[in-house]
Amino acid sequence: MGNKTDIIWLDSTDSTNKEARRQISALDNLSVLSAVTQTDGRGQQGNAWSSASGDNLTFSIVLKNPGIDICDQIALSAIASLSITDLLSSYGIEAKIKWPNDIYVGDMKICGILIENALKGDKVDWSIIGIGLNVNQTDFPSDLPNPTSMVLCTRGTSDFDIRLLLEEFMAIFKGYHKRYLNINGGLKKLRQLYLSQLWRKGEESFFFDNREGRKIKFKGTITGTNDSGMLTIKNEEGELCEFAFKELIYII
């Protein structure tokens, strides 16, 4: 297994994450599968990911033996999310990370990330990081509540080159990968960077507490994450509450 970065462009596939799983044994570490058209893309919680053919970036990165303990899987979300916010910043777009790894510009969603990990003992054996970044799309399905894209954020008069964007993204991603994985103190620094970009951190907001499946509305302030990557929110009574994925619903 080599360490080179291969970007493989597919005219069409059902899902780049699914295609990466099918080819996992043949793909090198840091290989990328990107599709011009994705017919069955999926986001978090099994939601469909809608993307106009040729307008956006839909791709998956394969990491093999990343050296991450099971308890530190949030580091993979951090690397992917920070790479996207850095890429957007280079084009004058200020974005934040909506926990755990959606990317928002203001209250509008510009990017979704779906990470699938295979475990071996107490380590992550391999990881597939699926990313859907809205780039040139200007019209979205009516059932998407708050989408935006790079071209809408910049009021651009011409389209972005999605192939160039992917190369720029991977240069940033590889930089984070090299600097913070498998080095002493790297994961701690990575977590600090992630928290510094957390959407609505320090702002009083409304949420639904879904820990018992009852959607109880409350007001609170995001303070960060705990050591396990759960989101921490201080409610109006001053209590610090911890939420795992699917236990909290943002009110936007």
Amino acid at 209: D
**Helix, strand, coil fractions of the chain, as percent rounded to 5:** 25, 35, 40
Q: Which two tokens stand for residue 115?
A: 């990470």
Give the pLDDT of the chain (252 residues) as one tens digit per residue.
344 468 999 999 999 999 999 999 999 999 999 999 988 766 555 555 556 778 999 999 999 999 899 989 999 999 999 999 999 999 999 999 999 999 999 999 999 999 999 999 999 999 999 999 999 999 998 888 899 999 999 987 779 999 999 999 999 999 999 999 878 889 999 999 999 999 999 999 999 999 988 899 999 999 999 988 999 999 999 999 999 999 999 999
Q: What are phi and psi of 193, to 5 degrees?
A: -65, -45
Q: Which residue's entry shows tokens 């990313």? A: 131
3-class secondary structure, 31: coil
**pTM for the full predicted model:** 0.92
User: 61 near 173, Cβ under 8 Å?
Assistant: yes
Task: Tell me which residue of 161, 178, 194, 141 sits closest to 34, measured CA to CA.
Answer: 161
Distances from the Cα of 188 to the Cαs of 72, 94, 104, 223, in angstroms? 10, 24, 24, 17
CATH class of 7-196: alpha beta
Per CATH, 7-196 and 204-250 having the same topology is answered no
Domains of the chain, by residue range, sit at: 7-196, 204-250
Pick the CATH number of 204-250 from 1.10.10.60, 2.60.40.10, 2.30.30.100, 3.30.230.10: 2.30.30.100
pLDDT of 184 reads 86
